[in-house]
Amino acid sequence: MRSSSASLDRLAVDAGPLIALARLNLLYLPSQMFERVLITDVVAAECLANPNYPEGDAIQSALKQGMLEQQTWSEPQSAGMWNLDMGEASTIDVAIRLEAAILVDDRAARRIAQKFELPTVGTCGLLLLAKRQGKVDEIKPLLNRLVNSGYYLGSGLVNQILSLAGES
C-alpha cells in the first residue's frame, strides 16, 4: 500500500472490491484490519440496487452489523472532473475528506487516488496484506474463487501476488 498523510486506521472501499470480498465471504476482513471501513451512499446503492449482484444481502448485513460505515457523498461534480463513475469518484472524495486509505481496483481511479497521495490498495493487495497479518492462510484459493465467479483479475497480477505471498 502506498503511504501518505492519510490515516491507516480508515479505509474507503469502492464497489468492485466490496463485491469481491462479499463473494469470498470475507466482508469482515477490512474491519479486522482498519478501525473504520467506509463506503459511500453511492457505492451502497450500486451494490444493493442491482439484482445482478447477489452479494447485496451480505453487504446490507455488514452495514447493519457496523462492519461498514456509510458516508453521504455531497460532491458529485468530481465524477465528471475525474472522468470516473460515481462510485469511484465518491470513494476517492470520501477518502480525501476523511484522510483514509482507499480500496479500489479500477486502474484510472487508483491513479487519481495516488495523485492525492492516498494510500491505495486493490483487492489482491488487501488479501496479501491479510495473509501477512495472519488473517487468511492462503491467497491462491481465494483468487481462484474470484476468477471462477467472473471477477476479472489479470494473470500477471495473480502471478505477482502469489509470488509475493510465497504461493507461486
pTM of the model: 0.90
CA distance to 54, 62, 81, per residue, from 37 (Å):
21, 10, 26
The amino acid sitting at 32 is Q
Examine the pLDDT at 75 and tell me if it is beyond 90: no
Q: Domains, the chain, ranges and CATH? A: 7-135 (3.40.50.1010)
* pLDDT computed for residue 80 by the predictor: 65
- Using pLDDT thresholds of 50, 70 and 90, give the confidence band for residue 7: low
Indicate the DSSP class of residue 14. Answer: -
Tens-place pLDDT, residues 32-63: 999 999 999 999 998 988 777 788 889 999 99
Examine the pLDDT at 140 and tell me if it is beyond 80: yes
- Using pLDDT thresholds of 50, 70 and 90, give the confidence band for residue 73: confident
Indicate the DSSP class of residue 66. Answer: T
* pLDDT computed for residue 123 by the predictor: 96
